[in-house]
Every structure is written in structure tokens, then in C-alpha cells.
Amino acid sequence: MRGLSFVLVLAALPAVLAVKTHDFKTCSQAGFCRRGRALSARAKENPAWRSPYVIDASSVALSSDQAAFTAAVKSAIYPEVNFSLDVRIHDDGVVRVRMDEVNGLRQRYNEAASWALLEEPQVSNTIQWTVAKDSVRAKYGPKNGIEVAVAFEPLKVTLLQNGKEQVVLNGRGLLHMEHFRTKESVARSKEGIEAPEEGLDTDDSQTVIASALPRTAWFEGDSEDGWWEETFNSFTDGKPKGPESLSLDIDFPRHGHVYGIPQHATRLSLPTTTGEDAYYSDPYRLYNADVFEYLADSTMSLYGSIPFLQAHSADSTVAVFNAIGSETWIDIGRLSPKSTTTHWISETGILDVFLLPGPTPADIFAQYTRLTGTPALPAHWALGYHQCRWNYVSSDDVRSVQKRFDEEDIPVDVFWLDIEYSEDHKYFMWDHKVFPDPVEMTKDVEAIERKMVVIVDPHLKRVDDYPAYKEAAELDVLVKLKDGQTDYEGWCWSGSSAWVDYFNPKSWDWWKGLFKVESQSGSWHWTESTVNTHIWNDMNEPAIFNGPEISMPRENIHHGGWEHRDLHNLNGMLYACAFALRSCHNLTAQAVKERTDPPMRPFVLTRSFYAGSQRFGAMWTGDNLGTWEHMAVGVKMVLANNIAGFSFAGSDVGGFFGNPDPEMLVRWYAVGIFSPFLRAHAHIDTKRREPYLLDEPYKSIVRDILRLRYSMLPVWYTAFREASVTGLPVLRPHYVAFPHDEAGFAIDDQYFIGSSGLLVKPVTQKSVTEETVYLPENQVYYDYFSHQAFRGAAKGKNVTVPAELHQIPLLVRGGSIVPTRERPRRSSPLMKHDPFTLRVALDKDGSARGELYLDDGETYSHEQGAFIWREFIADKPTKKSKGVRISSKDLAAQKPEEAVDHVALATYDSGNAFAKSIAGVRVEKIVVLGLPAKPSSVAAEGGHELQWEFTPGVSAADGKEGIASVLVVKDPKLSIAGDWTVVVQA
């Protein structure tokens, strides 16, 4: 939501003038980041640099029945400190590398992976390690092409493909796990001892220099920079555990592009932060923070953190997932255009890194989502349009907004309420002065099969007449001060506030119980609600107005005695399973799911997120500005979340701050309808900008834009099914769709929608009348609206596409069949029995393919087989035919084990209850683009001649550009759930 300056009236100011950068640290203001960068600088300055960490060869212990081994690790600069190494290879080839301090003064934080992982990964029992004098190695995969090599001295882990290095850990010797120590032990270590040979590969001059300094200075430096205390602005961090940071270099010698590590407002292919001509001067920061009015081009941390990075080249894709929950900075450099270096610097935690071998983007998504889970299949209605602002001020205001949408025939599925619905910002409690009838109001919205979303922030107002706070205090489930006993008090929208510690198991059932809508004895809960009220979790970084960096003091204590610094990035998300906990966000999703029997799919929007949050709901890009720059970078940010596993993502349409002019607002709606999550939102001080308030022609353009989104809901829902099963993102940038086309690796302003073949390039600049779209292949692409045929080329080609204000650069790739529903409705549930249109875009070979997935869109009955999953195929009846045969086949019957997320159905019953319920839903139109000649006959196989019209034009096969030929088959009366074939003869 917003920040401390919420009382100001904010116009659409340039982002560079808006963000309060002084509230947030740079690397130079964070002691552990300074130390990490200084370590890197020392390594660069000394060509003989060598890591002090070595494996004790005699300690290597192979597992007897798994592809795992452990070993003892020593540091030459601290020989008295012990470390352990654990390396294992999973069934799918992913390599997990863990290192921890052994028998230290304290336990390092080691639980981040357990919150993120879907389940404990299965370790291979077929891959075998081979121990040599200097290393441990394992080969596996097709033709044993994948190899993992763990070198002993110095410690280095390398992932290879066909003998070529793909990922290298500690290749530059920047690994450093700062062990726990006391000030007294540090004083004893400063005894001018010559650096051992295991440190620098020294010559005589270097030995002289080393011997003049403390024995650790060549590696750690000669100052205790930020070890014991650190001050930022007016806040002092006492660092009770001393230095405990983790530094690690992870390099990609054969990959020139890296993507991921959201959330940052930057390009998809991440620019450099170090080296000559670095684009940025500061590393990418992962530290969930309430950075309102953020910069549109920056490495600043934002609201979420996913420490997952992909590296890509024309030859392969690899990735790393660094399971760390603390603040982390990442430097990116390039030694050449085809290689990338990264340096990860974290405040606390063990080393727990997963190496994903790929070798394709699809393999990477499968491997990563096997670890952290695929995106949840959302409720169908959640893919419709969401209307929000801070705030709709009363029950009558909500009713009035709904009435105006209906009067103007503008579709909408969800109305939202921000914090002002609540009495003194006591969430769950309505302000009855302005919302006297919240249940009746909600039922009025439900009457048109719409939903409500209401905000519930994680801070609890510290007053005795607020049952949620009183019960949390009595249960002793609130976050503590550094003494571990006193409840922490901070300031947020509620004034003096407390924060529930969702790491505490005692909070779980209590929190879920608050969302019960039916009266129950024994506890207080939200009876003034309905099962069609869903939840918005905001401010869950956590945002705290009087805290350091607008967040929680790092010395605060959570359940288990962990400091907040250890798990800050996990706070907004924890994982629910047998060996992990549930967070505010995930607990909320569980609560909304379990309040009905049978359970209904919940919708929960979160601002803060971590790896694994995709399993539970949606996210948005936070408090953006109503500027063209923020519109453009929002596209890139949503793409970054998609390729990091979190597909259900979007940016606030219109920008949260500012008053966009009509042109900008129209363009932003066109951006929004091609985001998985579509919501308009606005600050309390902005002018009202609901689409019905626009003058003509803008109002009609936005109406048409939103209707286009609703017509394409079958495409979006089908794409989400695929994402929920395979992990493939809903939005696919060019490097994902065409991984061998180097010209597309940096493209982040156009993208594909799932496997639909739809290619969109949203307009994000003022006064545009045409756009340039890159086509990556020798294939025909059709304008979705005009049917203009464009031709790509084998080496890629740019084409010019009309883009007046009422036009959207949207192309259909030849070879695609796109199912849509064209009848305008007021909300998406009203479309459930509407007929379908099939757009058949023939490729240059005269064929096409598409899919459609449908279920009831609300329950989990699809997990028991209540759904349809159809495959549409267009091909030539004979090799030399100029006609086409269009068929519908039961894909679920062919692949029942692949149909549903996390459920391997043994069989599929095509006569299931849902299929029967839509048996009367028909295909009302088939549109075929690119036929070479006018048909002589169009008939259903085994049936009668169908009604059709043909408009001559360019053929898909002839290589020309121009308006394509169009065949329209009218109302063939074919069941969308049945098998059928239409034969077009020419």
C-alpha cells in the first residue's frame, strides 16, 4: 500500500523525484555488504588469490544408498573453526550443496529451505560418486553428459555439461562464512602471524606484505567493519551475535544473460553492477521493503525476494536457487559478452544452494517448481477485472460503483476495500458509521456473481477492545523485542501496533479461525463476512512506519529464538507442510480455503513474497507511479516474476500514485489485460478514475479492452492449468519460447501468453501510432484483429504493426488455435455456458494446434477428474490437399496423469459431472486464417454441409504479406466437450 507520506497530495511526478532513497540502505551503508565487496576487490587486485577453504580428503563419507556425501571443511585463516559440507544429487539431476559451521558458538539460521520447498527432495539412489585424490565427481544424465565435480583444495563445486563448465561455486575464491566469534577471540587473532601458503599463492614480496598484517587481513581486511554495531539514520543495530555473513561467488562461464532474482524495477536480462562500464553502481538487493514511489530503473530492493537466478545461452540454460532468508546483495558482472559472474552477499544463514542443470528453459522451470511448487490454479473469476482504490468510502459507494459499471456495460468481477473499511484500522471489524450493512452489501455484489476482496494487514492495533490483538497477546504469539520476552511495539496504520509471529505454531489455528464466517463458540471471528469475501495481505514485509528502513528491527526475536534478520525475507510467506510452518499469507489462504465444505479455491493477494509463494495466491508490483516509465517497467517486473515461478502477477493499472491522463490510462488498461493479474488501483489522494468516468472515445476503448480480456479468459485459464502442472510460466519472454534465438534473449517488451501462440507488445510510450514487433522465426504471424499476415525470417525480423490508441499490437503465431468466448457479460461466472469461437491460424505448412481446459473454476473437484481438457488439431486431409481437417480430441483421456496439478490421475472419465454440465455448450464459430483457396465444401465429418463464408486473401503457405484469407464457419453446433471433425475441402 502506501508509505509515511500518505497525507500528501501526489501528482504524477517523475519517479526520481518521489522515492525517499535516504530511508533505505545502499551497499556502502550495510556493513556486511561492504565487507563482501571489499573481499571481492582484494581478490581482483591479487592475481594469486586463492580461497582459504579446503576439504579434508580423509573426511569424505559417501552415502551407502544415495547420491550424497559429506565432508569436513577447514579455513586456512581460522584452522580452529570447523565446517561441514553436504552435497547430494536429486532424482531429477538437481544438485544441492550445503555448508554450515559445526560446533560453533551458535547455530546459523538453517530453515529457509524448509519454508520454501514443496517437500524434501528425493535423493537419487542410482547416481554414484567417485572419490579421487583431489576431488569427488559424479556423472549422470543422457550419455552421462552432466558432471558434478567437487574439488578439495581449494573447495570448488562445478556443474558441467558435456565437459564444459556451466556453473562454478567459489571459482574466484569469494566463499566466506563468517563464523561466530567473540570480541575476545578476535583480539587474540590479531597476532602478526604470516599468512599460510593455503591463503595467497605468494611470491617473496607478497609474503613480506602478508607477514606485516594480522593473519586474516589478506582475506578479511584489517578492520572490524560493522561487526559489533551498526547505525543507519537514527537506528542502531547492536549485532548481538557479531559478524555472521555469507559470501559466495557463483559464475556462469558460458552464459551471457541472467534473469530472475525479483523483485527489482529493471530489465529482464539483468544489467551489470560491477566491472568496467557497469550499468548500475550498487548490487541488486533482496530485502523485502515498503519502497513506495520506487524508482523505475534501479537495483533497490522492493516488496518481495526470490533468490532464483537463471543463466541462458543459445546452447543451454542453467539456474541456481540460493535458499537464504536474510538480506542479500548480488553483484553481476561480465568478463565477456558470453560469460557472467555473480557474487552473493547475505547477512546471515547457512550455504544452501541448488544447482539446476536444465539444459532447456522448460527443464529449468520443471526442476525449480519441483523444489518450490508450481503456481496454484486460481479460481476462474480471479482472472477477471478487479476494481480497487484507497478507498471506497461506504456501503453506498460500493453499490454505486457496481451500478455504474453495469450501466456502462463494462465487465468487472471483483470490488476491493482498502483499510478505511475497518473501525480505527482494526482489521476484521467494520466501521459501521459508513459500512452499516457489510454482509448485505457483499450479497448485493454477489447477486451478479461477483466477489469482494477486503484488506487484512498483519499489524494489530494495541487496544483491549480489539479481540484479535487481545487473543494474540493472551496466546503469547506476538513478535518479541531483543530480550525475547517483551512484545514488540511499532507504528503502522493502526497506530501503536503489534505483529503476530507466524513462525509460532500456536498462531496457526488461531489465525485461521478468525476467518470463519459462521458463528462458533469459544473464539472471536469474522462473522460479518461471507464466503465470497477474499483477502488482500498488504504491508507484510513487514512495513513499520517507525522502524529501520520502514521495517522491523533486526534484533527482534521470533519463535525458536531466531532474530528477525535471519528470516526477514520469509516473513510474508512461509510454507505449509509436515515439516514447515505457515505464514500470514499462507495461513490466510488456508483460512479462506477451509471456511467452506467442500473447500473453495481461495484468492489472496500478497505484496511480500519469497520462493514458494506462487503456491498460494497472487502478487502485485506495489506502489507504482502513474508514469509511462512505471508502465513500461511493470511489464518487465511481471515477466521477471513469471520466470521466477510466480506467474499470478500484475501491476496496478493507472499507477497507484498520480493522475494519469486519458491516453496513459487507456494504454495501461491494454497493458493490464495482458497481465495474469488485472487490477486497477489508486491512492486516496488521486482523482476517481473508474473507467466509466472517462470521456468518449476513451471510455468505449477501455470497455472494448476489458471485453477483449474477458473473451480470452479461456486462454488464460488454459495457460494457468499448464503452469500449475509443468511450471512453465503463463507469460513467456522470447528466450523461453525461442531459446536458441540470440537476438531475442534481451527482449522484454513483448511476450507470449502460455502456449496459445498469442504474441503481444503492449504500448508503453506516449503518442505512439505504430510499434515494431520482433518475429523470431520463418513463420507467418497474423494480426489478431485485422488478419494482416506478417512474415518472420530464420534469423529474426522486425515488422511494423499499427498501434493507434484503439489498437493493440497482438499477433497470432501461425500454427495456433485460439479458443475464445465472444459474448459480453457483466462478470465472468455469467459466461460459463456461453459458446466458443475457435480461431485457426494456419502455419506455412497448413497446420495448427491448440488446447482448452475447463472445470467449475471454484472448487477442487478437478483433482477428482471433474474437468475437460481438449486438443484442437488442424492438418491437411492429404499431403497435397489445399483444404484442412479440424478436429477436437480428448486430451485428458490421452494424458490423465498430466492433466491436474500434483494429482496423477490413473484414468479419466469423459462423462464426469462437470463435462455433463457443459454438454450443451457449443462451438458457435470457427475462423480459419490462411487457406490457399476457396473451399468447395465445409462439412462435419459424418454430417451435413455447414454454413460458411470465405474472403480471399494471402495464404499461409505462399510467403506473401497482406490480409490473409478468412474462412468463417457459422454455428457448426459442435459440443466443446465432445469429439468431432470438420473437413474443409478445396
Q: What is the pLDDT of residues 795-851, one digit of tens each?
A: 999 999 999 999 999 999 999 999 999 999 999 999 999 999 999 999 999 999 999
Which of 189-193, 407-411, 606-610, 719-723 has the least mean pLDDT? Answer: 189-193
Contact 85, 73 (CB under 8 A): yes
What's the Cα-to-Cα distance from 529 to each of 298, 443, 451, 533, 595, rounded to whole Å? Answer: 41, 10, 12, 7, 11
Residue 688 clears pLDDT 60, i.e. is over it:
yes
Q: What is the pLDDT of residue 578?
A: 24
What confidence tier does 666 reach under pLDDT thresholds 50, 70, 90? very high
Which of 464, 594, 574, 444 minimizes the C-alpha distance to 518? 594
Helices (H) and strands (E) in the chain, counts: 19, 53
What confidence tier does 585 reach under pLDDT thresholds 50, 70, 90? very low
Q: What is the pLDDT of residue 588?
A: 80
Residue 647 clears pLDDT 70, i.e. is over it:
yes
Residue 1 to residue 521: CA distance in whole angstroms: 34
Q: What is the pLDDT of residue 577?
A: 27
What confidence tier does 187 reach under pLDDT thresholds 50, 70, 90? confident
Which of 3-7, 78-82, 233-237 has the least mean pLDDT? Answer: 3-7
Q: What is the pLDDT of residue 589?
A: 84
HSE (CB half, 13 Å, CA atoms) of 457? 27
Residue 359 clears pLDDT 60, i.e. is over it:
yes
The number of angstroms, rounded, from the C-alpha of 978 to the middle of its chain's C-alpha atoms is: 36
Q: What is the pLDDT of residue 172?
A: 98
Residue 581 clears pLDDT 60, i.e. is over it:
no
Residue 409 clears pLDDT 80, i.e. is over it:
yes
Residue 519 clears pLDDT 90, i.e. is over it:
no
Which of 560, 554, 585 minimizes the C-alpha distance to 572? 585
Residue 189 clears pLDDT 70, i.e. is over it:
no
In degrees rounded to 5, what are phi and psi of residue 237? -105, 115
What confidence tier does 592 reach under pLDDT thresholds 50, 70, 90? confident
Q: What is the pLDDT of residue 574?
A: 61
Percent of the chain with pLDDT over 90: 89
What's the average model confidence in pLDDT over 194-214?
45
Q: What is the pLDDT of residue 212?
A: 42
Residue 489 to residue 374: CA distance in whole angstroms: 37
Which of 15-29, 837-851, 906-920 has the least mean pLDDT? Answer: 15-29
What confidence tier does 571 reach under pLDDT thresholds 50, 70, 90? very high
What's the average model confidence in pLDDT over 344-357?
98
CB count, 10 Å around CB of 416? 24
What's the average model confidence in pLDDT over 536-544?
95
In the chain, % helix, strand, coil (3-state, to 5) comes to 25, 30, 50
Contact 702, 421 (CB under 8 A): no
H or E stretch covering 630: helix 628-643
Residue 583 clears pLDDT 90, i.e. is over it:
no
Kindly state the DSSP code that residue 487 receives in the 8-state scheme: B
Residue 209 clears pLDDT 90, i.e. is over it:
no
What confidence tier does 645 reach under pLDDT thresholds 50, 70, 90? very high
Q: What is the pLDDT of residue 190?
A: 66
Tell me the average pLDDT of the chain. Answer: 93
Residue 9 clears pLDDT 50, i.e. is over it:
no
Which of 233-247, 585-599, 758-772, 916-930 has the least mean pLDDT? Answer: 585-599
What confidence tier does 14 reach under pLDDT thresholds 50, 70, 90? very low
Residue 602 clears pLDDT 70, i.e. is over it:
yes
Q: What is the pLDDT of residue 191?
A: 58
Enumerate residues 6+ apart whose C-beta is below 8 A from 914: 854, 855, 856, 861, 862, 866, 867, 868
Q: What is the pLDDT of residue 213?
A: 54
Active centre residues (catalytic): 538, 541, 623
